[in-house]
Amino acid sequence: MSIRRVYPIRTTRNKWKIPLFCNHMCNENCNILIVGNNLDQYVLLENPDYIDGKCSLYNKLSPTNINISTFNINNPQGDMGELYNYNTKVILDNSFVVSVYFPLSNVFEVIISTPNENEGFTLKELLYSIKNLYELIYEGEEETATPQIYNLKKFCTTCGNKDLSKYIIDIDINNTEELDECCICFSNEYENIVSENNYRPIKLKCKHTYHDNCIRTWLKTSGTCPICRNNIFECNNCDGSGVIYYSFTGTVIPLEERGNILNRNHSNGIFGIHSYDLEDLIINDLFYDRIKKRLYMSIIA
């Protein structure tokens, strides 16, 4: 990572970039190097510069991002350490305009003002104002969005903890000539030596046969036979399917209910927030135009 010098903001200019740097404080991640090649493959290697719990960047200035939801005005932090020069005035105007685009369907403009006369905004005050703005946006979205019914599913934890040996039948390893191929790996090879590749033949209660290792891997994500789709387990919660289907009514599906849904669902409130929760949002870059009194933000997730 390259280190840049941070110059004072030249407020005599019409526009300037508001620097986001932090004093790099080492952690266990500093002992790892991520090395890529031209095939877009990445390898984790031990960092040779990591000595005595510190790396070559220790206490030096590094470009940083700011997590909006966790930013604390009393303890301003970037993603690698304490925010640099957070008490420095970065905007001298008492109010400015900012357009909010991401992650909204409906773009809007807002005026941010400071109650302090002739004070302007320090870096930490500016970041805190942005945090408050986004918190209000997400609160307003919740209040104005229409609740929807979402059909969800989750894996049954009861079935996931079941002993599979109770539901499979071992087949004589000396009599495998009449067995069909395993439809999971498409091989009809069954080893006489159990320790080799786990190719031991087994049979489910529906009489279909598989390699022991293949069916165990399959049942990590499904509770049914791959051929006939009959439920393998006996379970009062999911009827043995391994999956529980249910519905949720609300504006946003809670994180703990999303299962394999990675992103926030789109909501139809006043802002139309899509794809990302407040906790996902990162301030990447800030620019200010003192003539237009307008702040430009680069928000990523």
Say how far apart CA 11 and CA 45 lie, in whole Å.
44
Q: Is the previous residue joined to 254 through a cis bond, with omega within 30 degrees of 0?
A: no
Q: Give percent above pLDDT 90 in the chain.
A: 41
Residue range 72-76: mean pLDDT, rounded: 96
Residue 178 has pLDDT above 70, yes or no: no
CB contact set of 41 (below 8 Å; sequence gap of 6+): none
Hey, what CATH class is 148-250 in? Answer: alpha beta
Whether the pTM exceeds 0.75: the reply is: no
Chain segment 260-293, per-residue pLDDT in tens? 777 999 999 999 999 999 999 999 999 999 999 9
Write down the pLDDT at residue 2.
47
Lowest mean pLDDT among 64-68, 85-89, 261-265: 261-265
Q: What band does 193 get if pLDDT is binned at 50, 70 and 90?
A: very low
Cα R_g (the chain), whole angstroms: 28
Write down the pLDDT at residue 138.
97
Write down the pLDDT at residue 252.
93
Of 86, 90, 143, whose CA–CA distance to 112 is shortest? 90
Residue 72 has pLDDT above 50, yes or no: yes
Which has more confidence, 264 or 62? 264
Residue 196 has pLDDT above 70, yes or no: no
Name the token pair of 127: 């970041």
Name the token pair of 224: 């049914």
One-character DSSP codes across 241-263 = SSEEEEEEEESS--GGG-TT--S
CB contact set of 259 (below 8 Å; sequence gap of 6+): 152, 153, 154, 155
Residue with tokens 């789109």: 266
Residue with tokens 């004589």: 172
pLDDT mean across residues, the chain: 84
Q: Which helix (H) or strand (E) holds 144?
A: helix 123-144
72-92 in b/e burial notation, b at 16+ Cβ within 10 A? eeeebbbebbebbbbeeebbe
Residue 194 has pLDDT above 60, yes or no: no
Domain assignments of the chain as residue spans, ordered by start: 15-146+265-300, 148-250
Are 296 and 288 in contact, with CB atoms under 8 Å apart? yes
Residue range 83-94: mean pLDDT, rounded: 93
Say how far apart CA 243 and CA 154 lie, in whole Å.
6
Name the token pair of 181: 């191929």
Say how far apart CA 181 and CA 171 lie, in whole Å.
14
Which has more confidence, 26 or 109? 109
Residue range 195-215: mean pLDDT, rounded: 76
